[in-house]
Structure 1
Amino acid sequence: LGSYVRSQRIGFTFDSDTSFKMKSGNRRSPDCSFFSKERLQSLGGIPRGYIEGSPDLAVEVLSDANTVGEIHDKVVEYFENGSRLVWIIHPEEKYVLVYRRPEPEALKKPGDILEGGEVIPGFALDLSEFFAEPEL
């Protein structure tokens, strides 16, 4: 995702060290996120500290510690604060839930292509490759 976004010069990707301040005062740090160049320009560039609002794309990678309620609350809050796309990745079960609103729109599995749609035009990821076991 980062390589594609850099090559297309359409925005910036961030890791979980980046904090986004929600209207509620909560700070969220998705595992990976994308913020469009246009939205960052409207903020005057990449702010120091945290970014007001949520990213255009928020990516959460599930762990055993996550609850369904916790993830649902995050998804709802992301959309209430400006996200246009959310991907919830379940590495153990090998699937990605795609959200374009606070309800899942699609379940993508190995053999499917995960696309960025209008949020990250032209981005496509083969989930068979993404979830492939590393060769030792």
Structure 2
Amino acid sequence: MTGAVNFPTLTLEEFLKRPETKPASEFVEGRIEQRPMPQGKHSRLQWKFCDAVNAVAEAAQIAMAFPELRCTFGNRSIVPDAAVFVWERIPFDAAGEIANTFAQPPDWTVEILSPEQKTTRVIRNILHCLNYGAQLGWMIDPDERIILVFRPAQLPTEFREDEVLPVLPGVDLVLTVNNVFNWLKGQR
């Protein structure tokens, strides 16, 4: 069951000290909101998206996609379904390894709408990312077979069927909406 749990005096710092939950919980405007448990279509789209981005961007050190990465910024702690960071913004620790803590918005945030999830909640997380510097947001709706694309200071744009989706500059990836939803068919 998803929903918000109100803690009148809970701060972001207190939330971050709490143990992680499965599925992940988010901290939004002083409330803890648990994300829905991913199901088959959601998991497949998430994995294939990250794999597609990383296949063209990681080795060249252009960008990297992370599934369900906690991003804490702007008094929120959210867990996008996929978070893409351009290489220069990926935090690395002293050992040269990817850091555990990402205290910034992704450059590209992707949310995959689950059947029991509220659309406005998902959109609010995308808008929060854009308000704090994200360049691009996608909301993938498997039931409607559309992808809404969000960009800073622009109205959302609806993409369908064979329309080519926008990606981050420098990421050499050409995807149509049909390409994305064909990932659900799997391969034999």
TM range, normalised to the smaller chain?
Answer: 0.7 to 0.9
Instruction: Provide the C-alpha distance between the structure 2 equivalents of 1:43 and 1:36, rounded to a whole number of angstroms.
Output: 17
| Structure 2 residue aligned with 1:51 | 102
1:122 aligns with 2:172: yes
Cα shift at 1:12 = 1.4
Deviation of 1:42 after TM superposition, in Å, equals 8.8
Q: Which residue of 1 aligns with 2:4?
A: none
- Displacement of 1:34 in angstroms is 0.7
Paired with 1:30 and 1:110, the residues of 2 have a C-alpha distance of: 24
Question: TM (normalized to structure 1)?
Answer: 0.82
Distance 1:40 1:73, change over 3 A: same
**Aligned residue identity for 2:113:** L
Alignment map for 1:1-136 (pairs within 5 Å): 1-16=53-68, 18-24=69-75, 26-40=76-90, 46-48=98-100, 50-101=101-152, 104-118=155-169, 120-132=170-182, 134=185
Overall identity of the aligned pairs, in %: 20
Amino acid at match of 2:118: T
CA distance in 1, matches of 2:78, 2:153: 16
Question: Which shifted more, 51-60 or 64-73?
Answer: 64-73
Does the residue aligned with 1:53 lie in a helix, a strand or coil? coil
> Matched residue of 2:90: which SS?
helix
- The structure number with the bigger radius of gyration is 2
Name the count of aligned residue pairs. Answer: 132
Q: Secondary structure of the equivalent of 2:158? A: strand
TM-score of the superposed pair, with normalisation by structure 2? 0.61
Name the CA shift for 1:106/1:11 in 2 (closer, same or farther; >3 Å): same
In the alignment, which residue of structure 1 is the partner of 2:33?
A: none
- The one-character-per-residue Cα deviations of 1:11-51 (angstroms, maximum 9, x if unpaired) are 211001x1000221x21111111101111269876322x20
Relative distance call for 1:75 and 1:54 in structure 2 (3 A) is: same
Q: Which has the higher helix share?
A: 2
**1:68: how far off?**
2.9
* 1:73 CA displacement: 1.6
RMSD: 2.4
* Higher fraction of strand: 1
Q: Which moved more, 1:84-93 or 1:6-15?
A: 6-15
